[in-house]
Structure 1
Amino acid sequence: MTDHVHDLRSVREATDRLLTAAAKLDNAALAGESHLPGWTRGHILAHLARNADALVNVLEGRPMYESGEARDADIERDAGRTLVEQLEDVRNSADGFQAVADAPQDWSRTVELRNGVTDLASNVPFRRLVEVELHHVDLDIGYGLDDLPEEFTAREIAFLADRWAGRPEVPATALTATDGRTWRTGAAGDPVVTVSGPAAGLLAWLAGRGDKGASLTTAGGALPALPAL
Structure 2
Amino acid sequence: MTTDPLLLMGEVDDATSRLLRTAASFDAADLAATSLLPDWTRGHVLAHLARNADGFVNLLTAARTGEPVPMYASPAARAADIEAGAGRPAAEHLDDLRRSADRFAEAVAAMTVQAWAATVQTRRGPWPAALLVWGRLREIEVHHVDLAAAYRPADWPETFAQRLLREVAAHHADLPAPPSMVLRFDGSKHELVIGERAGAPTVTGPAPDLAAWLIGRDGGDALAVTPDGPLPTPPEWI
Taking structure 1 as the reference length, the TM-score comes to 0.91
1:43-74 Cα offsets, whole Å, 9 max, x none, are 01000000001111111221112222221111
Which moved further from structure 2: 85-94 or 105-114?
105-114
* Secondary structure of residue in 2 paired with 1:164: helix
1:1-53 Cα offsets, whole Å, 9 max, x none, are 92111211111111011112211221111111122221111001000000001
> What is the match of residue 8 of structure 2?
7
Q: Is it true that 1:121 corresponds to 2:129 in the alignment?
A: yes
* Runs (5+) with no aligned partner, structure 1: none
Pick one of 191, 202, 209 that aligns with 2:210: 202
Which moved further from structure 2: 23-32 or 172-181?
172-181
CA distance in 2, matches of 1:201, 1:126: 20
Structure 2 letter corresponding to 1:80: G
Q: Matches of residues 1-80 of structure 1 in structure 2 within 5 Å?
A: 2-61=3-62, 62-80=69-87
> What is the match of residue 65 of structure 2?
none
Structure 1 letter corresponding to 2:83: E
> What is the match of residue 119 of structure 2?
110
Whether the aligned pair in 1 keeps the contact of 2:55 and 2:71 (CA below 8 Å) is yes
Structure 1 letter corresponding to 2:150: G
1:169-207 Cα offsets, whole Å, 9 max, x none, are 313422101222534243366572321112222012111
* Runs (5+) with no aligned partner, structure 2: 63-68
How many matched pairs?
Answer: 227
CA distance in 2, matches of 1:124, 1:185: 26
Please tell me the root mean square deviation across aligned C-alpha atoms, in Å. 1.9
Whether the aligned pair in 2 keeps the contact of 1:178 and 1:198 (CA below 8 Å) is yes
> What is the match of residue 100 of structure 1?
107
Q: Is it true that 1:186 corresponds to 2:194 in the alignment?
A: yes
State the identity %. 43
CA distance in 2, matches of 1:150, 1:104: 28
Whether the aligned pair in 1 keeps the contact of 2:33 and 2:41 (CA below 8 Å) is yes
1:134-171 Cα offsets, whole Å, 9 max, x none, are 11111122111111111111111011111112323313
